[in-house]
Amino acid sequence: MVGMDNFFHSCLSIDKSFLETTFTMDDLKSFDISAEKIETPITEFLRNKTIFLTGGNGFVGKILIEKLLRCDVKKIFIMMRPKKQKNLHQRFEVLIEDPIFSKISKDGERYFKKLCLIYGDLQEIRLGISENDERMIMNEAEIFYHVAADVRFDENLRESIEINVRGTREVISLAKRTRNLNVFIYVSTAFSTPSFNVHEKFYNPNIDPNLMIKVVENLKKDEDIENFEILARRIIQPYPNTYCYTKALAEQIVKECAKDINAAVIRPSIITATYLDPIQGYTDNVYGLNGVLVGAGVGVLRIFRINNKLKSNIVPADYVINLILAISFYTMTLENNFNYNRHIDAYAENANVQNNYDNGTEHQHEFHLNKVNGSGGKDGGDDDDNKIKVYNFSSSDDNCITWADVKHISSSLAYKNPAKRALWIITYNTTQSKIIVKILRILYHIIPAYLFDMILYLNNKKPRLLKLYRKVDKFAEVIEFFTNNQWHFDDDNVIRLWNSMTSYDKEHFPFNLWSIEWEDFFAVYTSGLRLYIMKETLDTLKDARKKYRKMTIIHYSMLFCIYSVCFYCGYKILNFYGLLDDIPKFNISSNTEFTFLKYDSI
**CA–CA gap between residue 328 and residue 322 (Å, rounded):** 10
Question: Omega of the bond prior to 238 within 30 degrees of 0, cis?
Answer: yes
d(CA 158, CA 168): 15
For residue 78, what are the CA distances in angstroms to 59, 163, 290, 557?
14, 17, 26, 55
What is the sign of the dihedral through the CA atoms of 100, 103, 107 and 110?
A: negative
Cα(291)–Cα(278) distance, integer angstroms: 23
Give the pLDDT of residue 105: 82
Q: Is the link from the previous residue into 41 a cis peptide, with omega within 30 of 0?
A: no
What is the C-alpha separation between 382 and 122, in angstroms, rounded? 29
- Per the DSSP assignment, residues forming a β-bridge with 304 are 430
Domain ranges of the chain: 29-286+310-400+485-530, 543-601
Residue-by-residue DSSP string for 129-168: --HHHHHHHHHH--EEEE------TTS-HHHHIIIIIIHH
**Rounded CA separation 593/409 (Å):** 51
Q: What is the pLDDT of residues 506-541, one digit of tens each?
A: 999 999 998 899 999 999 999 999 999 999 988 999
Dist. CA 296–CA 406, nearest whole Å: 12
Beta-bridged to residue 50, according to DSSP, are: 75
The answer regarding whether domain 29-286+310-400+485-530 maps to CATH 3.40.50.2300 reads: no
* Helices of type H across 352-424: 366-369, 403-416
Number of alpha helices (DSSP H) and beta strands (DSSP E) in the chain: 25, 15
CA distance 267 to 64: 16
CA atoms within 13 A on the CB side of 373: 6
Q: Check residue 108 and give its pLDDT.
A: 75
Strand duo 143-146 + 50-54: pairing: parallel
> Which pLDDT value is given to residue 74?
95
- Which residues of the chain fall below pLDDT 70? 1-38, 334-386, 396, 582-602
pLDDT in tens, 305-318: 999 999 999 999 99
Cα 298 from chain centroid (whole Å): 20
What is each CA distance from 252 to 78, 86, 261, 324, in whole angstroms? 25, 34, 15, 19
Residue 360: C-alpha distances to residues 68, 219, 326, 346, 363 (Å): 25, 53, 15, 21, 9
Ranges of H-type helices in 192-257: 209-217, 222-230, 232-235, 242-257
